[in-house]
Structure 1
């Protein structure tokens, strides 16, 4: 049996399993994370006050069109924060309040965000799904 025929047969055998395997396009994703007791409207105000839009593009925030950090569009649908942390409320609040503790040397500056402010900023970001 020639090489091409063997490859074709192997593909035919494997194809049904490959098509049935879950992948990135699966609709079985968990619901977006949320921050209990967070105030998204206050979070939007804080995002503007802390100047997050000077580095990030953030939907719904006036003049938040920065290109230094990643755009935060559809943030609630993302799997990871900064490629380091699973995207959940506790991790996001930790990242916002103390990014250098999560990833020393990251370009994300420590802005002195309080725990309460981080909670509300996270609540706003999770509306972006």
Structure 2
């Protein structure tokens, strides 16, 4: 009986997390107030292309970090951070504060560029 309740609670939490992962890209971009086209340029300027495969970004074919395809559909960022616009921006700006053992370096991304980069990544669904 207790196990059934635990499973039901877990499934409910999982459904809640998954629901955001399927939020429309447009809604996420509006929430962030980011510009996807500027974000695409910023991903190149901050050399994200040196570590990631990023669809639509020229030269982004490295396999050091994970591929960034389908970011709009993912439930988590960096494997444990719920995929929300706010968390995406935090991750892009200060990855080492969130996961100190991550290979993702702090590149000094400013707020505006992080919003734009996140907006572009949320077009990848």
Q: Same fold (TM over 0.5)?
A: yes
CA distance in 2, matches of 1:53, 1:73: 13
Gaps of 5+ in 1: 1-20
Instruction: Give the secondary structure class of the aligned counterpart of 2:29.
Output: coil
State which of 73, 98, 104 in structure 1 corresponds to 2:100. 104
Gaps of 5+ in 2: 1-10
- Tell me the residue number matched to 2:8: none
Offset, 1:32: 3.8
- Tell me the residue number matched to 1:35: 29
CA distance in 2, matches of 1:47, 1:74: 16
Greater helix content: 2
**Bigger Cα Rg:** 1
Greater relative contact order (Cα 8 A, min sep 6): structure 1 or 2?
2
TM-score normalised per structure 1? 0.76
Deviating beyond 4 angstroms after TM superposition, the runs of 4 or more aligned structure 1 residues are none
Aligned length: 105
TM-score normalised per structure 2? 0.78
CA distance in 1, matches of 2:123, 2:23: 12
- What aligned pairs does 1:65-80 form with structure 2 within 5 A after superposition? 65-80=61-76
- What aligned pairs does 1:1-129 form with structure 2 within 5 A after superposition? 29=19, 30-32=22-24, 34-36=28-30, 37-129=33-125
Offset, 1:94: 0.1
